[in-house]
Structure formats: structure tokens, C-alpha cells
Homo-oligomer: A and B are copies of this chain.
Amino acid sequence: MIALRDPIRLIPLLFLAAILVGTILLSLPFATTVGARAPLLTALFTSTSAVAVTGLIVVDTPTYWSGFGQGVILLLFQVGGFGIMTSATLLGLMAGRSFGLRDRMATQVERNRLEKHDALSALKLILGITVVVEGVVAIILTARLMGGYGETPGLALWHGVFHSVSAFNNAGFSSYSDSLMGFQDDPLFLGPIMISIIITALGFPVMQDLRAHGIAWRRWSLHTKITVWGTAALLLFGFVAILAMEWDNPATLGPMGWGSKILNAAFHSVMPRTAGFNSLDVGAFHDETLMTNFFLMFVGGGSAGTAGGIKVTTFFVLFAIVLSEILGRQDSGLFQRRFGREIQRQALTVTVLSATLIFAATTYIASISGLPLDDILFECISAFSTVGLSTGITAKLPAGGLVALIILMFVGRVGTITVATALALGGRDRPYRYPQENPIVG
């Protein structure tokens, strides 16, 4: 497995290269509407945010960047999203994480023979899903913008394609200054975007499993079962919590009718799980809603896709361990399967490292800025989990804070793929074992 160390090192370099090319392109004078060079940090931040499909912005996308600049951003998050999905899948295949592809493969010979085939079929499937879903959603959005909002065909097509690609890749960038707040009463616009995001945020292994077995859920792999049912549980929880907490908030759901309240609560239960569009003013959310968002953003979406966070499966593996411990059971598992010991440790490690990084970045930004701690924490979780929601402080951050967010976005997006794979690979163990002794805990 030593050979796999090289791709693990190569992938971060490829993402770094994409970010640098993006930074150069966004630094061209005609990338901005005023025709002057953007400051280096602005270009670097925007490029990183796009490649890492985060969507945090320090300048207003449609008014600051020219058509060329916006086109570059669109290209960057398409390339970034596709790159993340393919590299996570290929690394996963190479590391022997089965992804449901090899369930019925018996021998090592068969497995080796199928690896190349697996990789090719995975790439083809990712490409196919991308083209079909982005195309269909773009057509729907374009039609809606022409029919419902009187946009010219050219403009409607631009906005339609931009939001379709942004939604598919969970990028969170919008070509409207107020993101999707102008569409908060329109299920025909928000609906297709939500559906595209829910599907793509499941991650590639799940999409492949769903394609193979449809809704015959008993035949799904354990990974798919946990991701799909876990996603359903998180969406339901987020929907109920946001609806209840924001019901009377005069700056969000308060003035709306029943239908719009439900639509926007549903939309904002999907968004923190990675997408990052907003139809409501996140800065006006109650503190308890921010807490709910902290949780949903930290958990994120499905593995090996464009969703960020510690991932749905990671969260539910920890949940299952705690549950089995409370029930006094030896084995931890879900859906009548038990988890291997190594996967439990991986889940713990991913969670602890993620929380530590967010904690450190929040402490650092608090020390260099006078901004409220809850806003900073929101921003750091959003960056690490590549969500892209903000209470509105991004542009107010000092340079050091932006650099910290750039690192969070890069590590949160690229680091988690490679770290997860590296953990799955394992390492060279000691040739001896120490005797066992347990401390008292708790």
C-alpha cells in the first residue's frame, strides 16, 4: 500500500495548483467590474472558497467580479467539485474502502482485476450524473427565471446555469447579491436547488448504490443505509428546530405565511449540511438557531462527495458507540451490522481533529479581532465544513482571519479526503505490544 502514499501527496498539490491558477485569473484587471486588479488576498480567498466549494465571500460576487471573473469562479467550483468527488472515490477505491462496489467479490485476484474497471466506471458515472443533473436543473431554473421573473433568455440562462452548477457541487456561490433571498416565496426555484443538493450531498458511493438498487433499501450497503436514513433524520431535525425557533422572528420567518415558513425552514435545514445558499438572513437568526446550525454544519453530508463536515456516517458511528455503551453491549453497530474496531477509532479521530482545528482557529481569530465569539465560531465551522453560510462578518475580518479561513477551507476540503484515506490505510505498527492497564475515566 506504500504506492498509495504518492496519490495522497499528489492530490493536495493538484488542488493547490487549481487555487493558484484561479488566484492568477481573478487577479487580472478585467476580472473585476471596475477593471482594476483585485487585491491578492481577495483573489486568493475567492479562489480557495470556489475550489473548496465553500462559498464564503469577501466581496459581492455579481457587482465586484466581471462576467469573466464570475465565469472563472463558476469554472473553479465545477473543477473543484468534480476533483473532490473523483479523488475521494479513487483514493477510496485504492485504499480498499469498498464503496459497495465489491460486495460480492470473493477473491483477491478478482478484486485486483476489477480495480481498474471500478475506477473507470466510477469516473464515467460521476461525469454522467454531473452532466444530467446540472443540465436538468439548469433548464428548470432558466425556464423559471424567464417565466416567473421576466429575465431575458441570456440572463436567465446565465443565472440558471450558475445556480445549477453551484447547487450540484454544493458550492454556495450565487450570482445574486442577496443569494436566494429574492426567491424565498418560490418553491419552483428553491425546490429544484434543494433536491439537487440533497442528492449530491449524499456522496458518490451512495449515489452509485441508489443507481444500482433504487429504493430497494434492504439491498443497500451499510454505508448507504446510514447515510440515507441519517440524512433524513438530520433534515427532519433541522426542519423542525428551525421552524420552531424562527417561527416568530420578525427578521426571518415571522412575517411569512404558513407555506413560506415551511418552505424556508426546509430550505435552511438543507443548507447548513453543506450547500451554503441562504433564503433567509442568517445574521438575524436567533442564537438557538445558530447553535442548531453549528451542529448541522459540523456533521455535514455524505462521504466521498462535495459535502463537507465530519460526515453523516462518522456522526452516527459515534452515536452507535455511545448507545451500545449505555446499553452495556460489547458490539457497536447499526442496521444489524457491527462496526469494526478500526472504523470506530477513525470516526473518533476525524471528529477530534476537526473540532480541535475549529477550536484553534476560533481562538486565534478571536484574539486578533473584536468580533463576537459566536459569529467567529459560526464562520470557522462554516469554512471547515465548506458550508459557506455566514452571519455577515467575512468581509470584516482582518487579513490574519482571512488566512485562517483559507487554511480551514483547504484543510476541511482536501485534508479530510487525504487524512481519511491515510487513516484507512493504517501505518507501520510496532513489532511489540505493551501490557494492558486501564485508568479510571469519567
**Do B352 and A291 have beta carbons less than 8 Å apart?**
no
Alpha-carbon separation in the docked complex, A313 to B441 (Å): 6
Chain A at the B interface: SS class: helix
Residue A340 CB within 8 A of the other chain: yes
Residues 418-442 (chain A) with a chain B CB within 8 angstroms: 419-420, 423, 425-430, 433-442
**Number of A residues whose C-beta is below 8 Å from B?**
85
Copies in the complex: 2
Contact with B along A346-361 (1 / 0, CB 8 A): 1111101100000100
Taking A291-B359, A346-B325, A426-B328 as contacts, is the C-beta distance between A336 and B442 under 8 angstroms?
A: no
Residue A408 CB within 8 A of the other chain: no
**Do B427 and A328 have beta carbons less than 8 Å apart?**
yes
Q: Which of B292, B316, B329, B345 contacts A325 (CB under 8 A)?
A: B345
Residues 340-378 (chain A) with a chain B CB within 8 angstroms: 340-350, 352-353, 359, 362-364, 366-367, 372-374, 376
Query: Of A138-146, A254-262, A282-290, which binds chain B?
Result: A282-290
Residues 284-328 (chain A) with a chain B CB within 8 angstroms: 286-288, 290-292, 295, 303-304, 310-311, 313-314, 316-318, 321-322, 324-328
**Do B440 and A97 have beta carbons less than 8 Å apart?**
yes
Q: Which of B291, B327, B423, B441 contacts A347 (CB under 8 A)?
A: B441
Residue A31 CB within 8 A of the other chain: no
**Do A366 and B288 have beta carbons less than 8 Å apart?**
yes
In the complex, which residue of chain B has the Cβ closest to the Cβ of A364? B288
**Do B419 and A442 have beta carbons less than 8 Å apart?**
yes
Contacts of A102 in B (CB 8 A): none
Alpha-carbon separation in the docked complex, A291 to B363 (Å): 6
Residues 32-58 (chain A) with a chain B CB within 8 angstroms: none
Contacts of A337 in B (CB 8 A): 434-437
Residue A382 CB within 8 A of the other chain: no
Q: Which of B288, B423, B429, B435 contacts A363 (CB under 8 A)?
A: B288
**Do A304 and B437 have beta carbons less than 8 Å apart?**
no
Contacts of A329 in B (CB 8 A): 427, 429-430
Alpha-carbon separation in the docked complex, A420 to B372 (Å): 36
Residue A194 CB within 8 A of the other chain: no
Residue A112 CB within 8 A of the other chain: no
Contacts of A85 in B (CB 8 A): none
Taking A329-B427, A331-B434, A352-B322 as contacts, is the C-beta distance between A442 and B363 under 8 angstroms?
A: no
**Do A420 and B437 have beta carbons less than 8 Å apart?**
no
In the complex, which residue of chain B has the Cβ closest to the Cβ of A370? B287
Residue A165 CB within 8 A of the other chain: no
**Do A366 and B291 have beta carbons less than 8 Å apart?**
yes
Residue A99 CB within 8 A of the other chain: yes
CB distance from A201 to the nearest CB of B (A): 15
**Do B345 and A321 have beta carbons less than 8 Å apart?**
yes
Apart from A288-B367, A303-B439: 6 A-B pairs, beta carbons within 8 A? A313-B441, A328-B427, A329-B429, A332-B345, A338-B436, A346-B442
